[in-house]
Structure 1
Amino acid sequence: MRLRRALFGVASLVTAIMVAACGSSQDETGADNASSKQVAMDEQQAMKRAEEIIHQAVDGMSPKPTLKRVGPVPIGACVARDDGGSDDRVQLSLTYQLTGVPAGQAKSLVRQARDAWVKRGYKFQSSDADWSDPFPTVSMRTEPDDFWMDAITGVLDRAKGTGVASIGVTSPCFAPSDATATADPASFRRTAPDEQAERRALDHSSRIYDALQVRHAPTTEGEGLGTYQDAEATYAHHTWSTEPLADDTLAQVMQRARAYFASAGWTVRHAPMATGVPALMARHAADGAVAQLAPSTDGTLRVAVSTPAVRPGAASV
Structure 2
Amino acid sequence: MDDQQAIARAEEILHQAVDGMTPRPTLKAVRRASVGPCLAHDDHSEDDRVQVRLGYQLTGVPGTAAKSLVKQADEAWRKLGYAYQSSDGGPDWSDPFPSVFMRTKSDDFWMDASAGVLDRAKGEGLAAITVTSPCFLAAGQSATPAAGAASFDVPLPDPAAEHRIRAHSSRIYDALRAPHAETPGAGLMPVDDNRGRVFFHHTWSAKSAGCDEATQAVARGQAYLEAAGWVVRRQGAGALRGLNPEDHSVAQILADETGMIRVAVTTPVARASDTQA
Q: How does the TM-score come out when normalised to structure 2?
A: 0.59
Aligned match of 1:157 in 95, 116, 119? 119
Aligned partners of 2:179 and 2:207 also within 8 Å? yes
Change (3 A) 1:244 1:124: same
Aligned-partner SS, 1:174:
coil
Change (3 A) 1:137 1:269: farther
Partner of 2:110: 148
Partner of 1:280: 205
Change (3 A) 1:283 1:45: farther
* Residue deviations 1:86-125 (CA, integer Å, cap 9, x gap): 4211101010110110011001100100011111111101
- Equivalent residues in 2 for 1:79-98, closer than 5 Å: 79-80=39-40, 83-98=43-58
Separation in 1, partners of 2:169, 2:254: 17
The CA RMSD measured in Å over matched residues stands at: 3.7
Deviation (angstroms), 1:84: 4.3
Unaligned runs of 5+ in 2: 143-162, 190-201, 222-238, 243-247, 258-277
Change (3 A) 1:158 1:261: farther
Q: Give the aligned residue type for 2:185.
A: P
Change (3 A) 1:76 1:253: closer
Aligned partners of 1:88 and 1:175 also within 8 Å? yes
Change (3 A) 1:252 1:169: same
Change (3 A) 1:91 1:281: farther
Separation in 2, partners of 1:167, 1:54: 7
Change (3 A) 1:139 1:258: farther
- Equivalent residues in 2 for 1:24-35, closer than 5 Å: none
1:303 and 2:271 are equivalent in the alignment: no
Q: Which has the larger radius of gyration?
A: 2
1:99 and 2:35 are equivalent in the alignment: no
Deviation (angstroms), 1:286: 7.1
Separation in 2, partners of 1:274, 1:281: 13
Aligned partners of 2:41 and 2:203 also within 8 Å? no
Separation in 2, partners of 1:87, 1:96: 29
* Residue deviations 1:254-298 (CA, integer Å, cap 9, x gap): 6x7998448xxxxx662424735653164543747456899x9x8
Separation in 1, partners of 2:35, 2:28: 18
Separation in 2, partners of 1:87, 1:81: 15
- Equivalent residues in 2 for 1:64-79, closer than 5 Å: 64-71=24-31, 74-79=34-39
Separation in 2, partners of 1:301, 1:134: 35
Separation in 1, partners of 2:47, 2:4: 20
Deviation (angstroms), 1:162: 0.9
Partner of 1:139: 101
Aligned-partner SS, 2:183:
strand
Structure (1/2) with the larger strand percentage = 2
Aligned partners of 2:63 and 2:124 also within 8 Å? yes
Change (3 A) 1:66 1:112: same
Q: Which has the higher contact order (CA 8 A, sep 6+)?
A: 1
Partner of 2:164: 244
Q: Give the aligned residue type for 1:172.
A: P
Partner of 1:108: 68
What is the aligned length? 196
Change (3 A) 1:63 1:258: farther
Deviation (angstroms), 1:134: 1.1
- Equivalent residues in 2 for 1:44-55, closer than 5 Å: 44-55=4-15
Deviation (angstroms), 1:55: 0.5
Deviation (angstroms), 1:251: 7.5
Partner of 1:26: none
